[in-house]
């Protein structure tokens, strides 16, 4: 889920930025420090949306930079358990598919791609035996988060499933919706002579 997070931090502005406008220097320094930052608490930082306040500058002896107590807002993405996300399939392997969810990637294990026996082909396509459905690179999909791990903070892991109603390749969802809304044919009653 995307969040707007307010952060208060002491921002170090190096001496080479002293001649510039203070707000511009502080924003540049915050962006360098926080963009791409990953934390279990706030998720993945996407952008600095705005600076709310910049306090008085302090110079620490032995360091030529100035430090400003600054309050600012970050746009972050933190995946939540059971959250439903849309994304594009980035890669397909024999064990599953990798999906690009914007600021982060997730993995859909082959057993979670569809309710069918799934096979993998050399062309990087996962195919359902009975349903004849295919999943390949570039397909737009909807998946639910079933596992989140920040064990390796530089590379968080997301486990996803597409085996529930309303999930899967967007084309499949549309097909299923059309099947449900199609008119049901009535059976004709046949009378037998006795």
User: Which has the higher per-residue pLDDT, 188 or 95?
Assistant: 95
Segment 147-184, tens digit of pLDDT = 999 888 888 889 999 998 889 999 988 888 888 776 66
CATH of 2-77, one of 2.170.150.20, 3.30.1490.120, 1.25.40.10, 3.40.50.10490: 3.30.1490.120
Q: How far apart are CA 59 and CA 62, in angstroms?
A: 9
Architecture of domain 84-180: Beta Barrel (2.40)
pLDDT score, position 102: 84
What is the reported pTM? Answer: 0.74
55-80 b/e (C-beta count within 10 Å ≥ 16 → b): eeeeeeeeeebbbbebebbbbbbbbe
Q: Where are the domains positioned within the chain?
A: 2-77, 84-180
Q: Per residue in 124-141, pLDDT tens?
A: 999 989 989 999 999 999
């Amino acid at each position: 889920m995307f969040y707007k997070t307010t952060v208060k931090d002491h921002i170090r502005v190096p001496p080479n930025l002293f001649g510039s406008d203070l707000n511009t220097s502080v924003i540049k320094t915050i962006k360098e420090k926080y963009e791409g930052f990953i934390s279990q608490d706030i998720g993945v930082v996407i952008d600095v949306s705005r600076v709310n306040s910049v306090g008085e500058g302090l110079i620490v002896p032995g360091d030529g930079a100035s430090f400003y107590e600054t309050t600012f807002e970050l746009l972050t993405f933190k995946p939540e358990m059971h959250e439903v996300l849309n994304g594009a399939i980035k890669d397909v392997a024999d064990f599953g598919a990798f999906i690009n969810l914007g600021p982060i990637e997730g993995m859909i294990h082959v057993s979670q791609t569809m309710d069918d026996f799934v096979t993998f082909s050399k062309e990087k396509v996962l195919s359902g035996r009975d349903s004849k459905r295919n999943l390949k690179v570039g397909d737009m999909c909807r998946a639910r988060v079933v596992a989140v791990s920040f064990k390796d903070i530089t590379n968080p892991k997301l486990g996803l499933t597409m085996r529930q109603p309303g999930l899967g390749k967007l084309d499949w969802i549309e097909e299923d919706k059309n099947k449900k809304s199609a008119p049901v044919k009535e059976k004709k009653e046949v009378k037998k002579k006795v």
